Amino acid sequence: MSEFLSSPLFALPLSLSAFLIGVILYRRFKTVLLHPIITASIVVATLLTIAGVSYQNYHHASGLLYALLGPAVVALAVPLKQNLTIIRKAGWPLIITISVGAILAPAIAVLIALLLGAGKSVLLALSGKSITTPIALVLAEKVHASLSLTAGIVVLTGVFGAIAGPPLMQRLKIRDERVIGVVLGINAHAVGTARALEISALCGACAALAMGTCGALTALILPLIVSG
């Protein structure tokens, strides 16, 4: 029985069923608090705890889904291509803003955690908070960070950003969809980009650009900082 619970025959149907339940609830109640990732994560975590399956075993058994994360992220370039003309008009100011945000977002999180006395494992996991899951997990392996902690932080960051981002910007009277997209892409990566696409294709395109830039900069800089 334990071998079955740690196999793809259990992990893949569990993940897909949990996500389907999340999609149904999200469409039924139309609230970001019931985002499919939130619901699916709660369902999967609860069932894994009841079944006594460790995250490492579940991660290994879900290899196919993790392999599909990369193509899914690349697919987010479609709205970027469709709105490339509008994005080009923003030019260098947009690129500079995204680059600065990509560096400051994880740096501030790590600094706050450091001041609060967090250990090295937490600091390493936090360093990947502003990049999407496939890149974050690869980097976690390279810098010897905890995979489960990194995945948890990335998901929580994305979900919280997708929930709190749009209402906060509305309170701040930020209406420019390009700005909203950049903020969601930097702070909530793939989940934020999915939320941005619900706002508009332009918002989603800017979020995809911000998410990609964050991932590229972090992948280049983080290993150098850790090894140094």
Kindly state the helix (H) or strand (E) to which residue 57 belongs, with its residue range: helix 55-61
Same domain as 101, residue 54: no
Question: For the segment 112-147, what is each residue's pLDDT rounded down to a tens digit?
Answer: 988 998 888 888 888 878 788 778 888 888 888 888
pLDDT at 180: 92
Boundary of a domain, candidates 48, 66, 84? 66
Amino acid identity at 109 = A
Same domain as 42, residue 129: no
Residues in Cβ contact with 67 at an 8 Å cutoff, skipping those fewer than 6 apart: none
Number of H helices, E strands in the chain: 12, 0
Question: For the segment 7-23, what is each residue's pLDDT rounded down to a tens digit?
Answer: 888 888 899 999 999 88
Question: For the segment 154-211, what is each residue's pLDDT rounded down to a tens digit?
Answer: 888 888 888 888 889 989 999 888 889 999 998 888 888 888 888 888 888 888 888 8
Same domain as 57, residue 86: no
Checking if the pLDDT of 3 tops 80, the result is no
Boundary of a domain, candidates 66, 98, 121? 66
> CA Rg, the chain, in Å?
18
Q: Where does residue 171 rank: exposed (0-12), middle (13-18), buried (19+ CB within 10 A)?
A: exposed
pLDDT at 142: 81
**CA torsion 198→64→155→111, rounded to 10°?**
-130
Same domain as 137, residue 223: yes
Same domain as 108, residue 176: yes
Same domain as 183, residue 130: yes
Domain that holds residue 202: 75-228
- Domains of the chain: total: 2
Same domain as 99, residue 161: yes
222 three-state secondary structure? helix
pLDDT at 17: 93
Checking if the pLDDT of 56 tops 90, the result is no
Checking if the pLDDT of 31 tops 80, the result is no
Closest-CA residue to 166 (of 190, 144, 142, 188): 188
pLDDT at 24: 93
Q: Please tell me the distance from the alpha carbon of residue 122 to that of residue 137, in angstroms, as a whole number.
A: 14
52: left (phi over 0), alpha (psi -120 to 50) or beta: left
Question: Are residues 165 and 159 in contact, defined by beta-carbon separation less than 8 angstroms?
Answer: no
Same domain as 184, residue 164: yes
pLDDT at 228: 55
Q: Please tell me the distance from the alpha carbon of residue 98 to that of residue 105, in angstroms, as a whole number.
A: 10
Same domain as 93, residue 181: yes
Same domain as 204, residue 104: yes
Same domain as 86, residue 60: no
pLDDT at 1: 65
| Confidence label for 2 from pLDDT (cuts 50, 70 and 90) | low
Question: Are residues 32 and 162 in contact, defined by beta-carbon separation less than 8 angstroms?
Answer: yes
The pTM score is: 0.77
**CA torsion 137→117→214→73, rounded to 10°?**
30
pLDDT at 184: 92
Same domain as 163, residue 113: yes
Question: For the segment 68-111, what is each residue's pLDDT rounded down to a tens digit?
Answer: 777 777 777 777 777 777 777 777 888 888 888 888 888 888 89
